[in-house]
Structure 1
């Protein structure tokens, strides 16, 4: 229980840092940032996700046009439930566009931030679409993954559980990241400290991050007190043994 409390403490600290970063980081228009002579250490932009002209993506399982996707495959032998896990995430850059212009975003920023917990429960909930295939052989899906260069599995009689997460084109997105200049122009990347992507407008995002930090801290305190009480009871139960020994 104390170990769980320690993990929850780290989650709460991250959410608290996120709310502080959202409150202290400048908000910029995409075009304004792209043409800026000097770049801030960290910036927030909001707009619509657009594919980079040279990196138009199609998610292999759903066949949907997207700007980023991740495929998670659980794999097991015939007659066994899937046990081994394989993960593939794209790293191709895409763009965020608003009324002022366009700025590029590194696909690695999305891959770094979007863990399973964030997708289902965190501030990035509802940002991605999900296609899930229950455990089965899925020969057609495996063939599509192989054609896309994602995975190649030779054991067609085995059992596979496949989940595809994708950030679709034209999705509303808010990005908190570090801007850098590169061959494509200004690129938003994962820098040191808090960064991330979300679907909510900035005001909602700030409120959600602060609310989650508060809720997680309360849960952490409860687990800590409960774990401490159990530890104390355990020690008290050992006292007669120590005395007898």
Structure 2
């Protein structure tokens, strides 16, 4: 399987505590991140009354992609307040605007959103015979209902939390992509790799105990008993001898 070569850049400053190294060092059999994430300055002012940037303004500010396709990350609002815009055959831009404030309270790493989009656009690139369709080109790869799928539309931005923790390919998208000549091996590899797109272990453990309070209580009781026994043994074995 030939890996796609993807360039990732920052267009302007990214949200605080975004970890570029997680993206740069991600291991995938589907794509390869080319080089380090470079920062490019925003050279133009916004277009709309809500300070959004129109597609052409963003595209005019993009460097030439020397790869299969390039993903530009930003933190400013984009046209129609979409969080992602396909700008050209090889360029896509997405924004953390409003999304960072949704992901952080839910303890979801901002990098998870990047991974979700990298996998989604890799499939779109393959589906459209090695190119990205423009934002104005009719497509049918998203669905309105939220299924924890790469191709959830997320018209309500808060629903992004469901597809940034262990996202997957729903069965409908899986079979549609197969019909459009994306190999089963590619789809199965992506499903497997997406399982790694998760929250940190601490928050997964916290959620587990919230959902299973009786287990949490039982483990706490067992731990208290265990520590009591250990403390008693230490006292009888060493401390009592020391204070004789």
Shorter-chain TM band: under 0.3
- Of Structure 1 and Structure 2, the greater helix share is in 2
- Of Structure 1 and Structure 2, the greater strand share is in 1
- TM-score after normalising by structure 2: 0.26
The answer to which structure, 1 or 2, has the higher relative contact order (CA under 8 A, 6+ apart) is: 1
